[in-house]
Amino acid sequence: MGILLAKERAHTLPELAGRTYHIVTFGCQMNLSDSERIEALLSDAGMRREADLRRADLVLFNTCSVRQKAEDRVYGNLGRLKQHRRAHPEMILGVCGCMAQREGEALRRKVSFVDLVIGTAQLHRLPEMAAEIWRTGQAQVATEMPRKRNQHLLEAEEDLLAGIARGNDPYKAWVPAMYGCDKFCAFCIVPMTRGAERSRRPEEIEAQVRASGRKEVTLLGQTVNSYGRKLPEPVTFADLLRRLNAIEGLERIRFTSPHPADFSDDLIDAIAALPKVCEHVHLPLQSGDDSALALMRRGYTVAEYERVYWRLRERVPGISITTDLLAGHPGEMEEQHRNSLRTVERLRFDAAFTFAFSPRPHTRAEHMPDPVPHDVKMRRLQEMIDLQNAITMERNAAHIGEVHQVLVEGPSDKDPEMLSGYARNNKLAHFPGPARLAGRLVPVRVTEAHIWGLGAVVDMC
Ligand code: SF4
């Protein structure tokens, strides 16, 4: 049978009509975006979302493989559903996402009561596979990756992406620009779980952003600024930003995550010049030491990273720059760690996600000699966290008295009198105000600094 497009398939599967689904999402923005795609796909097929996992006909875990802990959590959650699954023979328990891609059939050998394992490039087949299980009672596994490296997205993948135009957030859309990664950093499992880099056509992305009608869009990609170079008619990421900047009604454009080695001057100029592109870049450093970066195979030196970093700070006034820092990579010696702390001290990021190294299967780092004891790695991680927290507080405190525009998300869960919203520089602000401001762009004056963001009041002037 040839590949049916998702829209056609959605209307030809009576097995799904009237049934319910519940998706549990782990991991990154890309997984959240994939879960939105899946929701749209299943809803089009006649299924309904069920808020209570234990009442759903299809329970799907959208998983992350980036650290062992993330996988352990999924196994723990699956284990807790064993009795429930056994008591409900009609229910389908499925696993998708990076862990499903990595484990494939092995996942069913480890957890025999899982009915469906579906990889990252096969999501468009989900309705068809669920229908097959309900028809035959046979478990289904699909984890094939697109083979050719030099390609754009498959037609079926693209068709599925069109479904997320509606998404769950009324004001913001997260739109994948590209999938996969060709970089093969020593510690990272993503090229194995997400496959080779492949970009969507710019007109598809633009159409989706327009159709969403949202005020803010975040473009997603594992190395989002590598976007477009392999398309049949290559375009740059800066070209894509220029194209989206012209969309009427769209107020803000964000993107995550760029790779430092692919950050062109043209892209910096575009960020500086395009009014809708927000003043925030998340630029993963990982280590501030050249030899550690070489061990990690990151493809840049500290000096090359700094060139991009300082140019962004110089060309884009008010920009905030955040990063990822990895402590305890195999082979990282004390001196390299000290160098890394010095670099972080010099660059003064606005915030950082800090991680301890976690060995992942089929990566280069998995088999690297690693004489550094676990407690030393944990101590290094803590030193990095303490340093960055102090810098984050100072950076946030420097905003006190400033006025920032926030996109109001709505009342806080804990206190209905308090609203929250992100400033253009991606700092979270909490401030008192009426719920009717939700979805509006509102100026707020910063009154307090916290590690998590800013306390503020609505600016009436
Ligand atoms: S650039 Fe490196 S860390 Fe980022 S997804 Fe690709 S391999 Fe992983």
Span from the CA of 4 to the centroid of ligand 1 (angstroms): 32
Q: Is residue 147 part of a domain?
A: no
- Ligand 1, atom nearest to 223 Cα: 1
Q: Is residue 26 part of a domain?
A: yes
State whether the beta carbon of 193 lies less than 6 angstroms from ligand 1: no
Span from the CA of 369 to the centroid of ligand 1 (angstroms): 21
Residue 159 is predicted with a pLDDT of 58
Q: Residue 215 is part of a domain; what is its CATH number?
A: 3.80.30.20
Regarding whether 183 and 259 lie in a shared domain, the answer is yes
Q: How far is CA 145 from CA 97, 155, 284, in A?
A: 13, 14, 26
CA nearest neighbour of 185 among 249, 257, 264:
257
Give the residue, out of 64, 67, 190, with the most ligand 1 atoms within 8 A of its beta carbon, to mutate for a pocket test: 190
pLDDT-based confidence at 388, cuts 50/70/90?
very high
Are 66 and 101 a contacting pair, CB within 8 Å? no
Residue 4 is predicted with a pLDDT of 35
Report the C-alpha gap between 56 and 244 in whole angstroms.
38
State whether the beta carbon of 260 lies less than 6 angstroms from ligand 1: no
pLDDT, tens digit, for every residue of 174-231? 999 998 999 999 999 988 888 889 999 999 999 999 998 999 999 999 999 999 998 9
Q: Is residue 148 part of a domain?
A: no
Tally of domains within the chain: 3
Report the C-alpha gap between 431 and 417 in whole angstroms.
9
Residue 317 is predicted with a pLDDT of 97
State whether the beta carbon of 185 lies less than 6 angstroms from ligand 1: yes
Two structure tokens written together for 25: 């999402």
Q: Which residue has the tokens 């800066």?
A: 238
Question: pLDDT over 70 for what percent of the chain?
Answer: 92
Give the residue, out of 30, 101, 181, with the most ligand 1 atoms within 8 A of its beta carbon, to mutate for a pocket test: 181
Residue after which a domain boundary falls, among 81, 111, 142: 142
State whether the beta carbon of 282 lies less than 6 angstroms from ligand 1: no
Span from the CA of 283 to the centroid of ligand 1 (angstroms): 12
Q: Is residue 11 part of a domain?
A: yes
Regarding whether 407 and 393 lie in a shared domain, the answer is no
Q: Residue 40 is part of a domain; what is its CATH number?
A: 3.40.50.280
pLDDT-based confidence at 37, cuts 50/70/90?
confident
Span from the CA of 302 to the centroid of ligand 1 (angstroms): 17
Are 402 and 396 a contacting pair, CB within 8 Å? no
Residue 68 is predicted with a pLDDT of 87
Q: Show the domain range for 125.
A: 6-142
Span from the CA of 192 to the centroid of ligand 1 (angstroms): 10
Q: Is residue 1 part of a domain?
A: no
Report the C-alpha gap between 143 and 439 in whole angstroms.
39
Greatest Cα pair distance, the chain, in angstroms, is 66
CA nearest neighbour of 284 among 210, 418, 181:
181
Answer whether residue 60 shows pLDDT above 90.
yes
Span from the CA of 258 to the centroid of ligand 1 (angstroms): 10
Alpha helices in 81-143 (DSSP H): 82-87, 98-103, 105-110, 126-136
State whether the beta carbon of 363 lies less than 6 angstroms from ligand 1: no
Span from the CA of 184 to the centroid of ligand 1 (angstroms): 6
State whether the beta carbon of 257 lies less than 6 angstroms from ligand 1: no
- Report the mean per-residue pLDDT for the chain: 91
pLDDT, tens digit, for every residue of 396-446? 999 999 999 999 999 987 888 999 999 999 999 999 999 999 999 999 999
Regarding whether 298 and 314 lie in a shared domain, the answer is yes
Report the C-alpha gap between 262 and 324 in whole angstroms.
17
Regarding whether 421 and 389 lie in a shared domain, the answer is no
Are 96 and 60 a contacting pair, CB within 8 Å? yes
Residue 418: its H or E element: strand 418-423
Span from the CA of 119 to the centroid of ligand 1 (angstroms): 19
Q: Is residue 228 part of a domain?
A: yes
State whether the beta carbon of 190 lies less than 6 angstroms from ligand 1: yes
pLDDT-based confidence at 169, cuts 50/70/90?
confident
Regarding whether 69 and 119 lie in a shared domain, the answer is yes
State whether the beta carbon of 100 lies less than 6 angstroms from ligand 1: no
Answer whether residue 167 shows pLDDT above 70.
no
State whether the beta carbon of 259 lies less than 6 angstroms from ligand 1: yes
Atom 8 of ligand 1, nearest CA residue: 188
Are 62 and 119 a contacting pair, CB within 8 Å? no
Are 97 and 62 a contacting pair, CB within 8 Å? yes
Regarding whether 48 and 121 lie in a shared domain, the answer is yes
Amino acid at 460: M
Regarding whether 45 and 15 lie in a shared domain, the answer is yes
Residue after which a domain boundary falls, among 75, 108, 142: 142
- Ligand 1, atom nearest to 191 Cα: 7
Regarding whether 290 and 164 lie in a shared domain, the answer is yes
Give the residue, out of 120, 182, 185, with the most ligand 1 atoms within 8 A of its beta carbon, to mutate for a pocket test: 185
- Lowest-confidence range among 142-146, 153-157, 276-280, 289-293? 153-157
User: What count of other Cβ atoms lies within 10 Å of the Cβ of residue 106?
Assistant: 11
State whether the beta carbon of 181 lies less than 6 angstroms from ligand 1: yes
- The burial class, CB within 10 Å (0-12 / 13-18 / 19+), for 62 is buried
Span from the CA of 278 to the centroid of ligand 1 (angstroms): 23
State whether the beta carbon of 188 lies less than 6 angstroms from ligand 1: yes
State whether the beta carbon of 222 lies less than 6 angstroms from ligand 1: yes
Amino acid at 449: A
Span from the CA of 282 to the centroid of ligand 1 (angstroms): 14
Atom 4 of ligand 1, nearest CA residue: 222
Residue 358 is predicted with a pLDDT of 87
- Ligand 1, atom nearest to 189 Cα: 8
DSSP assignments along 228-266, one per residue: TTTSSS---HHHHHHHHHT-TT--EEEEE---GGG--HH
Report the C-alpha gap between 339 and 356 in whole angstroms.
17
Are 350 and 320 a contacting pair, CB within 8 Å? yes
State whether the beta carbon of 256 lies less than 6 angstroms from ligand 1: no
Report the C-alpha gap between 284 and 60 in whole angstroms.
30
Contacts 24+ apart (CB under 8 A), 410-415: 410/435, 410/438, 410/439, 411/435, 411/438
Regarding whether 419 and 352 lie in a shared domain, the answer is no
Regarding whether 425 and 294 lie in a shared domain, the answer is no
Regarding whether 260 and 229 lie in a shared domain, the answer is yes
Residue 7 is predicted with a pLDDT of 43
Are 180 and 194 a contacting pair, CB within 8 Å? yes
Q: Is residue 451 part of a domain?
A: yes
State whether the beta carbon of 223 lies less than 6 angstroms from ligand 1: yes
Residue 113's Cβ-side half-sphere holds a number of Cα atoms within 13 Å equal to 17
More confident call, 361 vs 303: 303
Q: Residue 432 is part of a domain; what is its CATH number?
A: 2.40.50
pLDDT, tens digit, for every residue of 286-327? 999 999 999 999 999 999 999 999 999 999 999 999 999 999
Two structure tokens written together for 149: 């490296």
- The percent of the chain in helix, strand and coil, each rounded to the nearest 5, is 40, 20, 35
Q: Is residue 285 part of a domain?
A: yes
Atom 1 of ligand 1, nearest CA residue: 183
pLDDT, tens digit, for every residue of 97-133? 999 999 999 999 999 999 999 998 888 899 999 999 9
Regarding whether 318 and 254 lie in a shared domain, the answer is yes
Residue after which a domain boundary falls, among 397, 430, 448: 397
